[in-house]
Amino acid sequence: MEEDARDHFQAAREAAKRGRDPTCADETLALLLGHASRVRPAKVLEIGAGEGFTSIALAAFAGAEVTAVEKDAARAQAMRENLLRYPPSPGSVSLLEGDAGEILPRLNGAFDLIFLDGPKVQYRRYFADCKRLLKGGGTLVSDDVLLRGWVRGDPPKKRRMLVRHLREFLDLLEGDGDFQTQYFEYGEGVAVSVKRT
């Protein structure tokens, strides 16, 4: 990406951090890019791609081939526009527009890195497909899993259902002997889970 486009990209990311369903925290993006620069993942899957900032960064700055799933039509359109504005190499990002709950079971292929950042109440439902789609030795990065400490503590009443779903997801993750998980307190909490080879 040219320097000018890179500056615009950063500014657009800043704006996308302030919106509803924001783009991931800077530390989370740095974690993804740092991981990608070490491991050089050939194939990345992003679930809940929003306006495409993280997919574009992974393709443009880490040379990954990204498959991005996004359900919301307006966000998918914004992502297409961002792909034209901040083009990574041609064909490096494929957008699958639709519900991840329907798309994931039909997806094949072995991904080196999966960034799970879609609807939090569905993480536990997506877990089996994430495991199936992840290569041995691959990494699942799940965003927003600690929710201001509520998932490990005492959530406000209106957040209890969401917290219960996230706890069920973390129970699946931690109870699965094929994964080794580490947590980072970035943004709303990130789980980094490596699948055994």
Residues that bind ligand SAM (CB under 6 A): 21, 23-24, 46, 48-50, 53-54, 69-72, 75, 99-101, 117-119
Q: Nearer Cβ to ligand SAM, position 79 or 134?
A: 79
Q: How far is the CB of 82 from ligand SAM (least distance, A)?
A: 10
Helices 53-62 and 73-85, axial angle in degrees (round to 10): 30
With CB atoms as reference, the residue minimizing the distance to ligand SAM is 48
Give the total residue count for the chain: 197
Q: Nearer Cβ to ligand SAM, position 75 or 195?
A: 75
Q: How far is the CB of 130 from ligand SAM (least distance, A)?
A: 13
Q: How far is the CB of 77 from ligand SAM (least distance, A)?
A: 12
Q: How far is the CB of 75 from ligand SAM (least distance, A)?
A: 5
Q: How far is the CB of 21 from ligand SAM (least distance, A)?
A: 4
Q: Nearer Cβ to ligand SAM, position 5 or 15?
A: 15
In the sheet that holds 93-97, the strands lie side by side as: 93-97, 65-70, 43-47, 111-116, 134-143, 190-195, 179-184
Return the HEC string of 129-187: HHHHHEEEEEEEEEECCCHHHCCCCCCCHHHHHHHHHHHHHHHHHHHCCCEEEEEECCC
Q: Nearer Cβ to ligand SAM, position 71 or 165?
A: 71
CB of 195 closer than 8 Å to CB of 131: yes
List of residues 6+ apart from 72 with CB closer than 8 A: none
Q: Nearer Cβ to ligand SAM, position 77 or 181?
A: 77
